[in-house]
């Protein structure tokens, strides 16, 4: 008889360390629950209920009713993953046109954190799926909140960390463990992610939310930083548009409003602002 496989180790999040990291980064408050419906819903509710410090964070060990875009579900077993929602309340000088960039900023921060902490060659699939080895590791969901002090945004990221194949809801999904990441320590991954978010936001706020403007020092614009991590660029893709039509083309760039710039077979350029994008297989058989 073959021995039983060792149970997957799923230690709790070290919230005092996360709190310390956030303090060092000048972030707001932290809430950690054992279980909740959705960390995005919780943080949106807190923002509506009263004053909330900029860069406050909500996380949970078990998100029981997580959601994605267009009412789709986000499913993860207890302690297997990270569900992190961050509250962005830009100051008065920040251009509201910069708000929609915050979800791609967070996706990019996750790509960088996965690279640094787990050694994974991750990338962004437009608009904001984090992929590695052709599998989706992380999804991002941004929600606009109108507060008495002006517009704010809650950005939630869900990262699959230690799930085994059978625990993932769809064949396109992957986890840090399945993709061979060198750590599945959720505290390290969360700390690395928050560090990258704070850094990217600092640069973005310094140019008042203008994604096209280069930042202080040798910082390139947020748009360029995101584009560098966007594996969709250079790929042939099918963009499923909200009206049901499918646009096929080669992704050439990230446009000035965050649009995916596609060139169709006739050579015409299209700026796609909302769509589900599918990468078509490359001639070497890989997707991303």
Rule CB under 6 A: which residues touch ligand BT5?
38-40, 63, 66-70, 72-76, 83, 85, 129, 136, 139-141, 156-158, 160, 168-170, 173
Question: Any idea which residue has 């408050």 for tokens?
Answer: 29
Measured from the CB of residue 67, what is the shortest distance to ligand BT5 in angstroms?
A: 4
> Which phi and psi (to 5°) does residue 132 adopt?
-155, 140
- Between residues 65 and 280, which has the closer beta carbon with respect to ligand BT5? 65
Give the closest residue to 100 by CA, choosing from 160, 45, 141: 141
Measured from the CB of residue 156, what is the shortest distance to ligand BT5 in angstroms?
A: 2
- Between residues 108 and 157, which has the closer beta carbon with respect to ligand BT5? 157
Measured from the CB of residue 274, what is the shortest distance to ligand BT5 in angstroms?
A: 12
Give the closest residue to 86 by CA, choosing from 16, 28, 34: 28
Measured from the CB of residue 39, what is the shortest distance to ligand BT5 in angstroms?
A: 5
- Between residues 49 and 70, which has the closer beta carbon with respect to ligand BT5? 70
Q: Check residue 5 and report its DSSP letter.
A: P
- Between residues 83 and 211, which has the closer beta carbon with respect to ligand BT5? 83
- Between residues 66 and 203, which has the closer beta carbon with respect to ligand BT5? 66
- Between residues 41 and 203, which has the closer beta carbon with respect to ligand BT5? 41
CA dihedral for 99, 104, 107, 111, sign (positive or negative): negative
Measured from the CB of residue 219, what is the shortest distance to ligand BT5 in angstroms?
A: 28
Tokens standing for 68? 């994605």
Measured from the CB of residue 223, what is the shortest distance to ligand BT5 in angstroms?
A: 21
Secondary structure (3-state) at 22: helix
Tokens standing for 50? 């009263």
Residue 47 burial by Cβ neighbours in a 10 Å radius (0-12, 13-18, 19+): buried
- The residue whose Cβ lies closest to ligand BT5 is 139
Measured from the CB of residue 53, what is the shortest distance to ligand BT5 in angstroms?
A: 19
The two beta strands, 66-67 and 129-132, are unpaired
Secondary-structure breakdown of the chain: helix, strand, coil percentages, each rounded to the nearest 5: 25, 30, 45
- Between residues 24 and 180, which has the closer beta carbon with respect to ligand BT5? 180
- The contacts found for 165-174 with CB under 8 angstroms, 24 or more apart, are 167/77, 167/80, 169/73, 169/75, 172/135, 172/136, 173/135, 173/136, 173/137, 174/131, 174/132, 174/133, 174/135, 174/136, 174/137
């Amino acid at each position: 008889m073959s021995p039983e496989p060792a149970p997957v180790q799923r230690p709790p999040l070290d919230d005092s360390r996360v709190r310390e990291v956030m303090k060092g980064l000048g972030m707001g408050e932290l809430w950690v629950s054992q279980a909740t419906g959705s960390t995005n819903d919780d943080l949106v509710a807190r923002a509506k209920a009263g004053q909330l410090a900029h860069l406050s964070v909500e996380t949970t060990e078990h998100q029981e009713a997580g959601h994605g875009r267009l009412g789709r579900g986000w499913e993860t077993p207890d302690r297997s993953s990270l569900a992190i929602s961050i509250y962005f309340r830009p100051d008065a000088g920040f251009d509201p046109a910069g708000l929609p960039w915050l979800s791609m900023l967070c996706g990019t921060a996750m790509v960088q954190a996965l690279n640094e902490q787990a050694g994974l060659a991750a990338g962004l699939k437009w608009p904001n799926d984090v992929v590695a080895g052709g599998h989706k590791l992380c999804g991002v969901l941004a929600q606009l909140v109108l507060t008495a002090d002006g517009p704010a945004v809650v950005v939630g990221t869900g990262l699959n960390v230690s799930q085994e194949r059978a625990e993932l809801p769809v064949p396109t999904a992957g986890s840090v463990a399945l993709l061979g990441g060198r750590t599945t320590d959720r505290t390290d991954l969360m700390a690395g992610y928050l560090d990258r978010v704070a850094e990217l936001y600092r640069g973005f706020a310094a140019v008042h939310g203008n994604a096209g403007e280069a930042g202080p020092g040798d910082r390139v614009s947020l748009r360029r930083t995101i584009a560098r991590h966007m594996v969709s660029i250079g790929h042939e893709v099918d963009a499923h548009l909200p009206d049901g039509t499918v646009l096929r083309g080669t992704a050439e760039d990230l446009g000035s409003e965050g649009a995916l710039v596609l060139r169709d077979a006739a050579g015409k350029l299209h700026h796609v602002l909302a769509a589900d994008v599918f990468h078509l297989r490359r001639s070497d058989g890989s997707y991303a």
